[in-house]
Amino acid sequence: MHSDGADAAGPDYGVPQEIVLTEDVRAYVLRRRQNFRVCTSCGGPILLPVSVKPPKPSDLKVKVGDHTVFVSLYQARYHDVIHAGMIPRFRDYY
C-alpha cells in the first residue's frame, strides 16, 4: 500500500513519494481492525493505535482495507517502509 500524502511529500521536505507497508504490518492492522499511527518514541519509530496517539493534520496516510495508517511527517523523512519491527512487543499488541 502506498501513501496518499503527495501534497506533503517530495524532495523539498525530505519525504519519500510513497510509504510501503510490509505484508505482516498490513495483516496486523487488518487483524486489529483499527487505525494506527507511526510516530516517534524513545526507542525509535513505533506503530500505535490512534486511540493512544492521535493523527496530526501533517501525517501521511496509507490505506489498509477500511483502515488507515498515519505516518508522522518526521518519521516519513527517514522511513519509506513500515515493518513489523515498529510494532510494540508488550502486552497483547502483537
Which one-letter DSSP state was computed for residue 84?
G
Q: Which helix (H) or strand (E) holds 61?
A: strand 60-64
Q: What is the pLDDT of residue 14?
A: 63
Query: What residue spans define the domains of the chain?
Result: 20-86
- Reported pTM: 0.79
* pLDDT tens digits, 29-78: 999 999 999 998 888 899 999 999 999 999 999 999 999 999 998 888 88
| Cα–Cα distance, 79 to 65 (Å, whole number) | 22
